Amino acid sequence: MEEQKSVGTCPVCRQPILPEYYFCPNCGAALRTHPLPTSAAAQAWLYIFSAILPMFLFLPIAKWKGLAYAKSEDPKMKQIGVIAFGIVVLSTIITSWLAVVWTQDAIQSSLNSINADMSA
């Protein structure tokens, strides 16, 4: 007898389905809502990336020369450091503001499509 994969049934139409199916081939029902990979390679990559992610965030900060400039006694270097710090602060504010605007845009457009569906 050949090897058989464990066969389930579609919760909608009760047709036999394979566990790797995302959609029922008979009725099209979604069997899995979040098809994220769970293979060993995908897990290894995620764990490695999680381990090195803080380094990606903190290494550039450690390498940032702005603080050394700002602490300098030399007025020219100090000015450069203060300007660099100002750019970091400004960039942080703009990035945060864009994140808020884009999030609100996304919420607004999904609300609009829900309303359009309801009134259709």
Give the Å distances, CA to CA, from 5 to 2, 18, 35: 10, 7, 19
Q: Tell me the closest approach of the beta carbon of residue 66 to Zn ion, in angstroms.
A: 59
Any contact of residue 30 with Zn ion (CB under 5 A)?
Answer: no
Interior CA angle at 45 toward 43 and 47, to 5°?
70
* Site residue total, Zn ion (CB under 5 A): 7
Does residue number 31 form part of the binding site for Zn ion (CB under 5 A)? no
Report the site for Zn ion in 44-103 (rule: CB under 5 A): none
What type of residue is 40? A
Contact 19, 6 (CB under 8 A): yes
Please, what is the minimum distance in Å from the beta carbon of residue 10 to Zn ion?
A: 3
Residue 29 binds to Zn ion (criterion: CB under 5 A):
yes
- Does 13 help bind Zn ion (rule: CB under 5 A)? yes
Q: Which is nearer to Zn ion, 22 or 56 (CB)?
A: 22
The piece of 5-13, 43-51, 70-78, 81-89 that touches Zn ion (CB under 5 A) is 5-13
Part in contact with Zn ion (CB under 5 A); list of ranges 18-26, 40-48, 53-61, 104-112: 18-26
Nearer to Zn ion, 29 or 80 (CB): 29
